[in-house]
Amino acid sequence: MTTASATNPGTRLWAWANRHTKWVLSLPAAVFVLLMLIVPLGYTIYLSFMDAFGSVRKPLKFVGFDNYVYIFTNGERFWPAVWRTFIYSVATVGIELVLGLAIALLLRQAFRGQSFVRSVILLPLVATPVAVGMAWLLIFEPTIGVANQFMRMLGLPAQDWLASPSQALPTLIFIDVWQWTPIMVVILLSGLVVLPEEPYEAAQVDGAGPVQVFRFITLPMLAPAIITAVLLRSIDAIKTFDMIYATKGPGGGTQHEAETLNILAYDLSFNYSEYGRGSALLVFFFIVILFIVYLLAKLRERWGAVL
């Protein structure tokens, strides 16, 4: 009976499944994720080489690199959008890194109510970016917004905030910093709490000051966590869409004052029905993100090797 059961195909299949349980259980999810990545990306690349204007249901005409030539030569909107995306990403990530590191260093110290303060700092992450954008849109409303009421109380002139072409992008940067600095705090605080105590004890014996300890001990040992935080936030900041769209609408405002690459791609595709050109812009955007991820990953490897 044992021999018969061993030669039973069903039994052999069941034994193989038991030996490879982790692969059997994870395979459906892996296939689903791959399909959700490959199919949209492949279709976007396909559309970027087609004359897909007005409707993607009509016969498409292959136009080669014409869509890419168009977006690169569209100096009126493309290059300003590239510049705004760069400014927005660098400013938000830089400010969030400095604030996140400062707050993480404070929260590392033991004090009464530490757990409560850590929980409160995470509150901005609870709401979705669209909800955050709508809330700040009401706060910065030029006529009845709380921000201008506070300015009047201080005897200062009311500001246009999100409505002004010169103030819209700095205001959006402020909103992003308000919402996403807690992510930096969490990542950097996680890196701080696992640092060894021996170097700090040796520095204390040698009489090193707080600035020297931070520069020569904390910062080098925390470098991998810093690069990880910058990598994650850079990817997210570069492709920010929902919060900007919720506050400025299509085109990033009436004068495109807050139009980034993501907003421009959406505008070309869904407001002007230029699906081929919008797809070409998204492909370019995807390559830029991959390049930035590659650079930050190599930087993390090199910094880790030095340490």
Residue 304 has a pLDDT of: 58
Give per-residue pLDDT as tens, 36-75. Answer: 889 989 999 999 998 887 765 667 888 989 999 999 988 7
Q: What pLDDT score was predicted for residue 207?
A: 81
Mean pLDDT of 231-236: 89
pLDDT of residue 81: 92
244 pLDDT band, cuts 50/70/90, is: very high
Least confidently predicted of 25-34, 194-203, 294-303: 294-303
For residue 6, is pLDDT > 60?
no
The better pLDDT of the pair 138, 111 is held by 138
DSSP single-letter state for residue 58: S
What is the chain's mean pLDDT, rounded? Answer: 85
Please report the pLDDT score of residue 1 as a whole number: 46
| DSSP-H helix ranges across the chain | 2-7, 9-19, 21-48, 66-73, 78-108, 114-121, 129-139, 146-153, 168-193, 198-205, 210-213, 219-238, 242-248, 261-266, 275-306
Query: In the prediction, which pLDDT does 8 show?
Result: 62
Sign, Cα dihedral of 278, 280, 286, 291: negative
For 148-183, give the DSSP string: HHHHHHTTPPP--GGGSTTTHHHHHHHHHHHHHHHH
Name the 3-class secondary structure at 249. coil
Residue 179, pLDDT score: 93
State yes or no: pLDDT of 31 exceeds 90. Answer: no
What span, in angstroms and rounded, lies between the C-alpha atoms of 30 and 14? 21
268-293 mean pLDDT: 90
3-state SS assignment for residue 114: helix
Q: Please give the Cα distance from 29 to 104 (Å, whole number).
A: 36
Q: Is domain 75-306 given the CATH code 1.20.120.1200 in the classification?
A: no
Alpha helices (H) in 194-274, listed in sequence order: 198-205, 210-213, 219-238, 242-248, 261-266
Position of tokens 């919008």?
A: 278
Higher pLDDT, 195 or 305: 195
Contact (CB, 8 A) for 144 and 165:
no
pLDDT, one tens digit per residue, over 167-218 is 999 999 999 999 999 999 999 999 998 888 888 888 888 887 888 888 888 8
**pLDDT (0 to 100) of residue 177:** 95
Mean pLDDT of the region 224-242: 89
The pTM is what? 0.85
Structure tokens at 31: 């296939």
Query: According to the model, what pLDDT value does residue 188 have?
Result: 93
Say whether pLDDT at 306 is over 60.
no
